[in-house]
Structure 1
């Protein structure tokens, strides 16, 4: 015969003052203490031992709510679980708190060895430290919400959208890691589709107006003259970047096994390229001379070594050269635009040669069909011409 439940009434619970335990049935008891305070207790037996689980004070938990909680305990017992052990686990989870910054570090540490490019981990850390951590770094990751994410992204969404878009994706992955580890619950507030896309402009629309500060091509000779007068690995790396029309990450990640000085060729592997396709770069005479300078001080795998042993330059080192030259108005990436403008306005080299030199994606399938090769020999002539132009001052032209 089943034991009766719901034996207590709301009036009985409210008026009872005698210390003791009063059964509602099904393991639920009202406990009245000698001081007159009341609380709910769930009693059960497991492995021939009696256990009690507190369900809350009467002032905070009504009779109906206490019955719902007791029913949950009975279901747990029916499933073979131990309610008291479950309570301890829940409290342990509640006690484990990590800030967003701690989660970001843990995520990077967990994935660092899986990233092919060492600089990738540094970029992750730098981006989050610069933009996210000042806003949400010290906040419990369980409490990070949509408002927080938007607060991080909005200041740079229209001015530095490429950076902001990468930042959003990185925040999303850190929060997903935290959810998987049981540190937070619910939807990811950094997700784009159906969420942030309703609050922020489309990246493609914003990026159309986003330009990197570039030097007008008629001024390149004077600039290069000043650059060559500067000492240091970073100065040579910037000069090499300009002569090869390459991106910063391609330069600072360059390894000696990619270089063939006798063939005057630099082959960048696909994993280090933005378009994930191998890119061959023909080298002018001055670029080869720079490589020989770097070879004379070689102490590792990186062509342009950094301050630490077995590491390359940081991604800020080339910008630091521009600042020392009092040209903080320029960006390293902008010199690719300088090269592109020179090729279009001062030469008869076909457009596709300059696009190939910049490792841009072809615009159409038809163009791709006709340009399956990389036009290396023709590009070599163009890069030689660019080096000659960049080596002349205005008075020599």
Structure 2
């Protein structure tokens, strides 16, 4: 802008003597795209130019530009926040759908595997997953357990896993006793990291590589971990087994991150692990970005009524909803969490649940709806102590 202005009129590089104040155009673009701080830097540069070329500051123009910068700076802040909030909601939905897809495939593969070879190998994928969940002690011990299980079930003779943090390899474990060093320049490893999806030797027939397959796990578009298969019998090296291994690794990596998040928090310790993780995630999103989520709570002194409520909720809940129940001092409490929904939306779900129950059950029920940010009130309504 200064160069253009100087070319047009060397004595008036800011073009402030024109009928239209062209100076506002680049200032507006800078502030809208890059924020208030960059706008203030631009004002500082303009002030220096005014001193250098005009010998004084034009206070009228200076104040106009300053007011514009503050107004557009606030707009940039609001718009950036709205974009970040929208992106976070999208990531949450994608994460939940991926979790549901992984669980569905795990169950399907478990049943298929049990039907095919239960007599010879009575270990289902579902059982493997449960063993992995129970083995979370230390990182090395956990990954050792995973390698041992996958090697045993899929007859893999040699494999390894490398875990990354901020693009730096912090841990490598192997099915052998030898130390593992990841060669990122390997064609299979390189393509797996670039694409974020599994790569097999059949895709690189002529490549010189010690690996048969490289299966990466991406975390926010960064490499979180990679599983490398080096030796595996030809009869076991097939598409179905490789897909199953990929899903086990996916579930495992996702689950160990969940455990890490839940262990760091003390809230809702009375409830099931999956429910706690989802509660912590939605509670954190509400605090950071004001993303609304609601919780329906049903209380009753009758065990039969509680059973009917749980049956009704399990049949009516939507794909992203999560529920859990506990008994506290003789009171049966059931919670239904509805992500990304305001209280009025949760009211519709509540009415469906109540209308599906018989009058006898409804007479024993006490129910209420809360925003997930009302953690203290939620605990008080359930008769539980503050856990923060």
TM-score interval (norm. to shorter): under 0.3
Structure number with the higher strand fraction is: 2
TM-score (norm 2): 0.23
